[in-house]
Structure formats: structure tokens, C-alpha cells
Amino acid sequence: MIHSQQSAIFAGTLGSGTVGARFRQVRAKSEAICAPLQTEDYVVQPCAEVSPPKWHLAHTTWFFEAAILKQTIHDYRPFNPEFFRLFNSYYKSAGEHWLQGERGQLSRPTVAGIIAYRRAVDDRLLALLDKEEGNPALLTLLELGLNHEQQHQELLLMDIKFILGTNPSMPAYTGADWLAPAVAENWTDFAAGVYEVGYEGNAFAYDNECPRHKQYLQDFAIRNKTVTCAEFIEFIDAGGYADPRLWLSQGWDWVQQSGLTAPLYWFRKNSAWHHYTLHGARPVAEHEPVVHVSYFEADAFARWKGCRLPVEAELEQWLAWHPDTTSPQPDVIHPSRSDQANNQVWTWTASHYSPYPGYRPYSGMLGEYNGKFMCNQFVLRGGCVATPAGHYRPSYRNFYLPHQRWMFSGIRLAKDC
């Protein structure tokens, strides 16, 4: 179900003696993320783009069942045939699926029922791994499934924050505090020339990161420091949200229709800016990176600053030049909690999410994983503190619609030299 090009990338990622342990560790992490929640928190869906936590736990299980067990085991008998419709996200070739915006309407199966579903599928998959040890096709699918679940671990934290943040009491997800590092402002210059873009290596990468190809870039520079809350407050105080000259046409319409005056989760209290974090409501720390901004806001800010957003090929070169931006982060939970200063937030690029020259999607059902979304979305790069270790790499392409901002999204500036 995966082309040989991607199979070669996956080869050797999972050692034969560590497959089961790695599978258990990734699966346990999803449940650990949900452990601080109350049962009622698992079922809430405040808006269509935010899924209930219990749905994430079920969908990642469905992925292993539909993409591996059902495809590998002859006469496979599903845990519950109805789950194939309820927990399929958007794979049309896999059959009907429940509407995304109506996932919160499902009080059943219960949270306990979904945990039982996870246990049953885990047992079947581990038994299959014991039987098919060393099967390269199976290991390739398993690696994709594990990375898929890790993507949902980041989504879980995004969605949990939105669920708790829309509650008037703004409850804390965790009581742990954080330390936001101070970052000096400087720029890295890059000379015009032909650069290599896309994944290169023998570890895991998604189909949308390939193939590696050449791209010419003009002289450019990227600021090493992401835009801070203090800088964004200056933008607000200067009337940035009220100046149509700074905004793309669609962005201006969006701001006017939404009545927005600040990033998501920001509010004024005693004339000072506060925001909701996974630690609860806190005063905005001015040296922290601004987070939860849309592409429209990022683009308007860059224009106000006399700069621009980088294109994704430029930002990939910067990420490769700064290796500390691609190393694993400590456990969550705040976009400033990091011993490293650079990869606290995903940063927007000016690039539309499009296929690379020679792009080949996965085959079969998995062909719908990335390629079908290459329209009307913009690329983000770099990762954030909620990104699982192992997903920090310069070629990683995240993507969202230009108005979305519930993800951990920030701003990095670029300019022409």
C-alpha cells in the first residue's frame, strides 16, 4: 500500500527486538496525555475543527485496525463493525464516515468502551507482530501508524486546550510551571543559489516531504527569534487589527466578520493582557513567543514590521542550519517551556501546501493521508513543545487553513537581502 520510495525511507526504522515495546510506548503516551481529564472532558466538542479526546483515542485505534489488521489478516473479524464508520476520519475509500463536526454528539461508545477497544486491537496487533516478525511490509505500515498516532498526540493537546479554554472557569490541565528562555535577536543570512529541499535520510518521513529536489532561492535572511508577545502587543496598540492596508483581502474580511482584536485565548484583565494556557489563565509574559495566531495575523504583522513571512524552502534551510531546532523537546505543556529557544511554536510560511515535483502519494487507502489536502492551505514548519520527539526535522510539513489558530502557531520573520 506504500510505494517503494517511501518503503525505503521506512526501512530499518524499527528494530525487530523493539517493535512491540515501541508500539506499547506510543499507545500508552496517548492515554497518559488524557489522564488528567475528567470523564466529561473526553466527550466535549466546542467547534467542528476540535475533536473530543475520546474520538482521538478511538480513531488512532481504528487506523491500526483498518490499515493493518484488516488488510493483513485473512477473514479478519472487527472488534465492532460500526466503529469503522464512527472512527474513520476522512478516508472515503475505506467507506462511510461520521461527520467531523458531529463527533461530539456520540455519547456512546463510552470512554471505557473505547479503552476496551484499544486493548483488544493492541492485543491483536502484537500477536500479529509476533507471528510476522521481520515482515517489511508490515513494519512499514506499523511505522506510519505510530507516527500517525503521535500526530494525534499533538492534536490531543491542541483540542484539550480549546475544550478547557472555552469553559468560563478556564481550568488548568496541569499545575506544572514553565520557564521561558530569553532569546537574543539576530538574523541569519543566506546567499542566493540552488538549494536542496525535501527529506533526505533513512528514517521515517511522510510522502509529502518527498522527493528531495532542487530549488533556486534569492538572497534572504531569517530572524532567529520568533515574534514575541511584547512585539505583538505593539502591533495591537498601533491599531494593527483596524488597519486594512496590512491585511490580505480575505484576512481583512475574516477580522471584520469575527471582530478579532488579539490572538486566540487572549483577554484583558485589570487593563493588562492575560491568556489561557494549559496551566490555567496567566498574565501574558512579554518575552514569550506569541502563539495561536492565524496565517492572516502572521502575514499582517510581518507587513507591519516591514518584513515578510519566509517561504517554506527558506525556512527549511534555516532549520537545517540551526540543529537545535530539530532536537527532542521535554514534555509539554506551554509553548515557552523549553531549554531551547527556537522551536517552541510552529511558524507560518508564505507557501501554499502543494506537492513537490515528482510527488507520489501512498497507494491504496493511505493515498488520502496527505495529498487530498493540497489545496487552500498554508505550510508551517519547525514544530512546537507539543510535537512528539522524533518529529522535529527540517523537512516536516505541517499545514492548516489560513484562518485557523487553535494550534500552537507563531511567527518567524524573513526579509530580502
Rounded CA-CA distance 122/127 in Å is 8
Please count the other Cβ atoms lying within 10 Å of the Cβ belonging to residue 147: 19
* Cell numbers placing 244: 486594512
Give the start-to-end residue ranges of the domains of the chain. 4-165, 187-416
Residues paired with 280 in a beta bridge: 277
Which residue bears the cell 502587543?
A: 233
pLDDT for 368: 87
Cα torsion 358, 363, 365, 370 to 10°: value is -20
CA dist., res. 282 & res. 364, Å (int): 47
Backbone angles phi, psi at 410, to 5 degrees: -135, -160
* Ramachandran category for residue 259: left, alpha or beta (phi over 0 → left; psi -120 to 50 → alpha): left
pLDDT, position 8: 46
Contact partners, residue 300, CB within 8 Å, separation at least 6: 235, 240, 246, 247, 248, 251
Nearest-Å Rg of the Cα atoms of the chain is 22
Residue the block writes with cell 496565517: 295
Cβ-based burial of 40 (10 A; exposed 0-12, middle 13-18, buried ≥19): exposed
Q: In what order do the strands lie in the sheet with 346-352?
A: 398-400, 378-381, 346-352, 409-410
Cis peptide before 109 (omega within 30 of 0): yes
Q: Which one-letter amino acid corresponds to residue 270?
A: N
For residues 15-26, one letter each, b for 16 or more C-beta atoms within 10 angstroms of the residue's C-beta and e for the rest, the string is: eeeebbeebeeb
Q: So what's the pLDDT on residue 288?
A: 87
Fold assignment, 4-165: Four Helix Bundle (Hemerythrin (Met), subunit A) (1.20.120)
- The pLDDT score that the predictor gives to residue 334 is 39
Q: Model pTM?
A: 0.92
Beta bridge partners of 220: 190, 416
Strands 409-410 and 346-352, bridge-based pairing: parallel
> Which triple of cell numbers denotes residue 129?
507482530
Superfamily of domain 187-416: paralog of FGE (formylglycine-generating enzyme) (3.90.1580.10)
pLDDT at 284: 94
Per the structure block, which three cell numbers stand in for 307?
518584513
For the record, the C-alpha cell of 58 comes out as 478511538
221 Rama class: left (phi>0) / alpha (psi -120 to 50) / beta: beta
pLDDT in tens, the chain (417 residues): 565 455 544 444 554 458 999 999 999 999 999 999 999 999 999 999 999 999 999 999 999 999 999 999 999 999 999 999 999 999 988 899 999 999 999 999 999 999 999 999 999 999 999 998 788 999 999 999 999 999 999 999 999 999 999 999 999 998 876 556 667 789 999 999 999 999 999 899 999 999 999 999 999 999 998 999 999 999 999 999 999 999 999 999 999 999 999 999 999 999 999 999 998 999 998 888 999 999 999 999 999 999 999 999 999 999 998 755 443 443 444 344 344 445 589 999 999 999 999 999 998 888 889 999 999 999 999 998 888 888 888 999 999 999 999 999 999 999 999
Positions of E strands within 87-207: 187-190, 193-197
Question: Who's near 377: CB < 8 A, 6+ residues apart?
Answer: 352, 353, 399, 400, 401, 402
